[in-house]
């Protein structure tokens, strides 16, 4: 964007919402019934808003490309800057398995074989096949440019609006479904059931809706009067997302019988509602195909997105020459092939966890834990930079003077991140082996952070390009 052309307030709200508008997380949200209202408020107020506001200050003070890696580097040194960029890369190993796991489910509906969506072996093969095909296409063509914004419009916005519309129509016709997740309302149902701890990890799945909230902060310098307009844009975006997700989430919870939601099956509520409302079944084939297109475009964006920042980190001498190789199109070929290989390995989780929906939630949780570690580093950095570099101009600043507001916002962020990680270590419903689950999450996290620290500690001067 040119320096002369400033983003309007509504433009920034649109961009911020574009990062989070997805129907994919709605079944996870819906599976918590009435509790989703409190979960959504916790995720928005304690997680999304503090991180977005801290990121706005950091990105206007240090507008250079790199975002979180740059901020952490300035505050905590090059080692933790590298760990930040590494975690933002490796979280996608788990995140992309979760996204790609919906390909098989959606394809099953497109060809009128929805039962394929609960077949673990079929889901595993569709993850591996779809990711490798997308990867190989991206090595030759810029698939995101080819698909353009149409992928988001076809695969995200239209299905989301359709889901909200169907939810309202279903409720207008039937009221509260006596067999659904919203039956027999009591005030107590708004709050987590602490007698059944296995329901708590759904909070992590809800928080994942807002993972990546720091990304929109790169536009904070491109808006008129960032001090006034950026917080308005962020708060408005988060509120709109909360309202839209809750209408869709409550609608899905109302239309499907209690205990029957499959977290990875976004077409399931469309089928329930269209059947009840007398809408022809072909609508579900079309909507499944549209969401499938959206998922494939999203996978394309992720194939090259994080790898472009990793190649910069590699060329700065933080990774061996193997990771610095580019093909004729300038694409970091070895980084892209390594991520496709690791994603194939992570997807074997679907072969070990019988319940496809539970496997989806387990992998969502791993992704969120890795993201939370990045947010922990961002919050610590935001407070530290106020002390070590107070003279740097901050076009958007939390609090007109003093560090009280920044310390308060960063502390809320740190508390919410620690709470999220603690809840993430409880095995969700559908996973019977608590010890095996705990071992998986701890080992996955320790290994991912440990590899980054080992690489950094043993890097060689000749790696620098």
> How far, in whole angstroms, is CA 434 from its chain's centroid?
25
Residue with tokens 């933790």: 80
CA-CA distance, 152 to 281, in Å (whole number)?
A: 24
Torsion sign, CA atoms 100, 104, 110, 115: negative
Nearest to 233 by CA among 22, 19, 67: 19
Q: What is the CA radius of gyration of the chain?
A: 22
CA-CA distance, 56 to 63, in Å (whole number)?
A: 10
pLDDT tens over the chain, length 465 residues: 444 567 787 877 777 666 666 787 899 899 999 999 999 999 999 999 999 899 889 988 888 767 888 899 999 999 999 999 999 899 988 889 988 999 999 999 999 999 998 899 999 999 999 999 999 998 888 776 676 568 778 888 899 899 999 999 999 999 999 999 999 999 999 999 888 888 889 899 899 888 877 776 767 777 777 777 878 888 888 888 888 899 999 999 999 999 899 888 899 999 999 999 999 999 999 999 999 988 888 788 788 777 877 888 888 899 999 999 998 888 899 999 999 999 999 999 889 888 888 888 889 899 999 999 999 999 999 999 999 999 999 988 999 889 999 999 999 999 999 999 999 999 998 888 899 999 999 999 999 999 999 999 999 999 987
* CB atoms near residue 400 (< 10 Å): 7
Residue with tokens 């307030």: 9
> Is the CATH code 1.20.1740.10 the one for domain 9-463?
yes
Tell me which DSSP letter residue 46 carries: I
Residue with tokens 């570099």: 389
- Check: CB of residue 22 under 8 Å from CB of residue 156: yes
pLDDT, residue 2, reads: 44
pLDDT, residue 134, reads: 93
Nearest to 107 by CA among 94, 92, 128, 122: 122
pLDDT, residue 329, reads: 83
Per-residue tokens: 265 = 């099956």
Nearest to 31 by CA among 382, 390, 465, 358: 358
Domain ranges, ordered by start, for the chain? 9-463
Q: Is 2 left (phi over 0), alpha (psi -120 to 50) or beta?
A: beta
> How far, in whole angstroms, is CA 175 from its chain's centroid?
32
Q: How many helices (H) and strands (E) does the chain have?
A: 19, 0
Per-residue tokens: 290 = 């549209």
- Check: CB of residue 362 under 8 Å from CB of residue 439: no
* CB atoms near residue 347 (< 10 Å): 25
pLDDT, residue 3, reads: 47
Per-residue tokens: 351 = 């072969």
């Amino acid at each position: 964007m040119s320096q002369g052309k400033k983003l309007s307030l509504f433009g920034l709200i649109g961009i911020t919402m574009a990062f989070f508008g997805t129907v994919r997380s709605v079944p996870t949200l819906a599976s918590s019934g009435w509790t989703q209202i409190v979960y959504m408020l916790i995720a928005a107020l304690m997680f999304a808003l503090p991180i977005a506001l801290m990121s706005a200050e950091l990105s206007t003070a240090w507008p250079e490309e790199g975002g979180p890696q740059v901020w952490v580097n300035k505050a905590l040194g090059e080692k933790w800057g590298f760990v930040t960029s590494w975690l933002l890369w490796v979280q996608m190993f788990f995140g992309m398995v979760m996204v790609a796991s919906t390909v098989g489910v959606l394809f099953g509906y497109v060809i009128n074989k929805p039962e394929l969506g609960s077949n673990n072996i079929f889901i595993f093969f569709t993850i591996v096949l779809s990711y490798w095909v997308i990867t190989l296409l991206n090595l030759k063509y810029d698939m995101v440019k080819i698909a353009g914004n149409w992928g988001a419009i076809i695969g995200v916005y239209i299905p989301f609006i359709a889901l909200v519309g169907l939810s309202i129509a279903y409720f207008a016709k039937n009221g509260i479904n006596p067999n659904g997740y919203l039956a027999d309302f009591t005030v107590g149902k708004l709050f987590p059931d602490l007698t059944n701890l296995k329901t708590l990890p759904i909070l992590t799945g809800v928080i994942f809706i807002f993972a990546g909230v720091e990304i929109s902060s790169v536009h904070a310098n491109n808006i008129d009067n960032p001090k006034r307009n950026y917080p308005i844009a962020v708060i408005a975006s988060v509120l709109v997302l909360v309202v839209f997700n809750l209408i869709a989430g409550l609608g899905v919870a109302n239309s499907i019988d209690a205990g029957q939601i499959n977290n990875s099956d976004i077409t399931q509520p469309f089928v329930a509602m269209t059947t009840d409302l007398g809408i022809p079944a072909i609508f579900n084939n079309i909507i499944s195909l549209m969401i499938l297109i959206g998922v494939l475009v999203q996978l394309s964006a992720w194939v090259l997105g994080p790898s472009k920042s990793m190649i910069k980190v590699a060329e700065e001498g933080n990774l061996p020459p193997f990771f610095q190789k580019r093909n004729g199109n300038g694409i970091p070929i070895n980084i892209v092939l390594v991520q496709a290989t690791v994603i194939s390995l992570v997807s074997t989780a679907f072969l070990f966890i019988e319940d496809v929906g539970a496997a989806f939630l387990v992998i969502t949780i791993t992704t969120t834990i890795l993201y939370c570690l990045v947010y922990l580093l961002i919050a610590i950095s935001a407070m530290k930079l106020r002390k070590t570099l107070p003279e740097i101009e901050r076009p958007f600043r939390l609090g007109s003077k003093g560090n009280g507001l920044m310390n308060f916002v960063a502390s809320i962020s740190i508390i919410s991140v620690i709470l999220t990680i603690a809840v993430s270590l409880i095995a969700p419903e559908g996973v019977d082996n608590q010890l095996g689950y705990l071992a998986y999450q701890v080992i996955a996290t320790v290994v991912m952070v440990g590899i980054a620290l080992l690489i950094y500690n043993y890097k060689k001067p000749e790696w620098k390009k």
